């Protein structure tokens, strides 16, 4: 519980209009996209780094938690105030500070919407590739905190590959700049990469310096349907083996095809058990060449149907369908557990076979879709939490899934982070000595343990 005297002081720091304690506001900020929930004591919207520093110093002195929050699109409960305390909304930090067209660098505040930033840099012929499914609502700061991946990661990498430097406020109140504004820089430990992906547990990010690249001049979107999952998975390997690296290479299984097809009124072949959504980009010659190679490979792998989108509007419609897969799955059951596991591409057939056995063993629909190009598959265990035995079956399935993924040489999370949802399973992948080292790093940044407590470590 935050003392009344602390709330009064916070109100003086930010102005009473930017401190919220009404129950309807607290409820709005109690959960994120994970649907896990815990009520905060208050919500604050600071306007600059100095205000954040004053609030964090007060929290360290009085011992109440502070939970940084972007748009609340996280899938593992990273923004859920599990110990109550003060949710710190970063929505007032919403400015694009600079676009340096000579040096291919952008500077933004953390509350900038990812799609807005992409549109801004593309208008001057530049490109910011990270492309999470929540791009229209997620913020750059949240993307950095979770090291978001997305659809284009197979070719362009993830958020950390574009973060050059940060301005942060430490839990002690110190304001620090990390990293560089240049393409190279190796002075000291890489604090920028350490904070990127730290899920708001080490520092509050107030400014981000991002690497940009030239905007590709052309793109081509294609869709292929297959009679079985194994054919689709073999096609993924064949495309990469032929030295074609698509911008995006997405996989949907039959359950996903059915749900999104019904949701959006799309024409999907009734006999298709798997679908690949593929995009290439570059100059016109490269796009045509890669598109031709991919079409031949799909035909060789027994694709039922192969189509290239006829223009930008048709391509956007296909990508809209892909982004709608996750919410469309609620047609199957009212609740779900969504896991973002990763295995080496060559082991995806084994993962696919395992998911079929897992579905049979636990009697729950298990839908799979995701970034097949880099082996990052979103496994969705659908359930009704009010039905007897389904929660226990789903939890058992999660543990079996993680065990199998690790045996296949993979990881239990590719882009969603650990948060609170995966904290019980972290020691399945990371040995105790590694976890203890991380905890010592956390303590060095946050000696009083006030910043986003209860996340990552149990």
DSSP string, 174-229: -EEEEE-SSS---SSS-HHHHHTTSTTSS-EEEEEEEE-EEPPSEEEEEEEEESSH
Measure CA of the first residue to CA of the last residue in the chain; give whole Å.
21
| Tens-binned pLDDT, residue by residue, of the chain (458 aa) | 899 999 999 999 999 999 999 999 999 999 999 989 999 999 999 999 999 999 999 999 999 999 999 999 999 999 999 999 999 999 999 999 999 999 999 999 999 999 999 999 999 999 999 999 899 999 999 999 999 999 999 999 999 999 999 999 999 999 999 999 888 899 999 999 999 999 999 999 999 999 999 999 999 999 999 999 999 999 999 999 999 999 999 999 999 999 998 888 888 899 999 999 999 999 999 999 999 999 999 999 999 999 999 999 999 999 999 999 999 999 999 999 999 999 999 899 899 999 999 999 999 999 999 999 999 999 999 999 999 999 999 999 999 999 999 999 999 999 999 999 999 999 999 999 999 999 999 999 999 999 999 999 97
Are 144 and 205 spatial neighbours (Cβ–Cβ below 8 Å)? yes
Place of tokens 């406020």: 169
Are 173 and 46 spatial neighbours (Cβ–Cβ below 8 Å)? no
d(CA 226, CA 420): 37
pLDDT at 334: 96
β-sheet bridge partners, residue 177? 167
d(CA 155, CA 216): 12
Q: Provide the token pair at 411.
A: 């990881």
pLDDT at 387: 97
pLDDT at 181: 87
pTM of the model: 0.95
């Amino acid at each position: 519980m935050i003392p009344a005297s602390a709330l009064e002081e916070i109100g003086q720091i930010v102005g009473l209009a930017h401190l919220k304690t009404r129950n309807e506001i607290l409820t709005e900020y109690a959960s994120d996209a994970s649907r896990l929930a815990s009520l905060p004591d208050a919500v604050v919207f600071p306007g600059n780094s100095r205000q954040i520093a004053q609030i964090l110093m007060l929290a360290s002195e009085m011992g109440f938690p502070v939970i940084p929050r972007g748009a609340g699109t996280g899938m593992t409960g990273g923004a859920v105030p599990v110990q109550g305390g003060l949710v710190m909304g970063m929505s007032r930090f919403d400015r694009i500070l600079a676009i340096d067209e000579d040096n291919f660098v952008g500077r933004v505040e953390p509350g900038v919407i990812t799609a807005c930033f992409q549109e801004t840099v593309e208008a001057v012929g530049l490109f910011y590739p990270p492309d999470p499914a929540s791009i229209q609502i997620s913020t750059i700061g949240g993307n950095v905190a979770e090291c978001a991946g997305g659809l284009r990661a197979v070719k362009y990498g993830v958020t950390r590959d574009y973060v050059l430097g940060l301005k942060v406020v430490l839990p002690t109140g110190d304001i620090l700049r990390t990293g560089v504004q240049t393409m190279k820089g190796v002075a000291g430990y890489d604090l920028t990469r350490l904070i990127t992906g730290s899920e708001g547990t080490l520092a509050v990010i107030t400014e981000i310096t991002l690497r940009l690249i030239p905007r590709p001049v052309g793109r081509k979107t294609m869709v292929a349907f297959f009679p079985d999952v194994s054919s689709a998975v073999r096609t993924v390997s064949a495309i990469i083996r032929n030295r074609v690296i698509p911008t995006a290479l997405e996989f949907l299984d039959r359950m996903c095809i059915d749900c999104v097809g019904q949701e959006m009124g799309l024409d999907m072949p009734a006999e298709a058990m798997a679908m690949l959504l593929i995009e290439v980009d570059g100059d016109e010659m490269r796009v045509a060449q890669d598109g031709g190679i991919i079409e031949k490979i799909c035909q060789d792998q027994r694709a039922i149907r192969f189509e290239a989108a006829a223009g930008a509007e048709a391509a956007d419609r296909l990508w809209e369908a892909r982004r709608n897969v996750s919410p469309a799955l609620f047609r199957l059951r009212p609740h779900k557990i969504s896991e973002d596991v990763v295995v080496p591409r060559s082991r995806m057939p084994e993962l696919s076979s395992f998911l079929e056995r897992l579905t049979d063993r636990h009697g729950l629909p298990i839908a799979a879709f995701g970034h097949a190009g880099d082996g990052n598959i979103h496994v969705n265990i659908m359930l009704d939490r009010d039905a007897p035995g389904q929660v226990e079956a789903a939890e058992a399935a999660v543990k079996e899934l993680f065990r199998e993924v690790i045996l296949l040489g993979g990881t239990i999370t590719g882009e969603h982070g650990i948060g609170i949802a995966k904290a019980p399973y972290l020691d399945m992948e990371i040995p105790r000595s590694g976890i203890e080292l991380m905890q010592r790093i956390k303590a060095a940044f946050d000696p009083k343990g006030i910043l986003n407590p209860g996340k990552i470590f149990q």
